[in-house]
Homo-oligomer: A and B are copies of this chain.
Amino acid sequence: VSQQLKATTSEPNEARRKDGLLTTGDMARLSRNTLRTVRFYEESGLLSPVQRTEGGHRLFPAAELSKLLLVTDLRAAGFSLDEIREMLEVKLHSVSGGEAARDVICRIDEQLDSMTARVELLERLVSELRSTRTLLRGCVECKDNENFPHACADCTVMAKPSNLPNAVSVLWGLPR
């Protein structure tokens, strides 16, 4: 792994500067992102404004770390950077708290549905892969290299339930 990817070699959880400002490396390490990602978000206008040292090094106030942590979470939840940018700018485009609140609530509602759907899909897949694993455990002791792989469908070692998971059917070449 390149040095330019990692935030630092060590793994302290604190920023080291005494003035409370955070370097790009601090931001990356504390949010578990890469240096490139922090710079990319800043270039994209998600983290702004930044101060720079005389030598051109970025310095972020602590509030930008909170923002970065939210951005990181929202990315993991499936929001695009454009959607995140719009959420962060809602208060700038609103004339009252009510307008801003309704806007944010609307955006959150839109995503909550797809997020719970993704949780359900993932849970369905986890259980399918687990039962696939359980069924394949019946094959780990198999040393047959004459009937493998073409005659696995005729083998009676694996207990084949009526609701054979599609993963087993496809991976093992078995009919459902």
Contact = CB atoms under 8 A, between A and B. Distances in A.
Given A91-B172, A111-B129, A129-B111, A140 B98 contact: yes
Q: List the number of copies, as a whole number.
A: 2
Interface in A77-135: 77, 87-88, 90-92, 94-98, 100-102, 104-105, 108-109, 111-112, 115-116, 118-119, 121-123, 125-126, 128-130, 132-133
B105 A145 contact: no
A125 B126 CA distance: 19
A143 B98 contact: yes
A123 B67 CA distance: 20
A16 interface: no
A148 B108 contact: no
Interface residues of A, number: 64
A46 to B, nearest CB: 11
A170 B118 CA distance: 25
Interface of A: 63, 66-67, 69-70, 73-74, 76-77, 87-88, 90-92, 94-98, 100-102, 104-105, 108-109, 111-112, 115-116, 118-119, 121-123, 125-126, 128-130, 132-133, 136-145, 148-149, 152, 155, 166-167, 169-173, 176
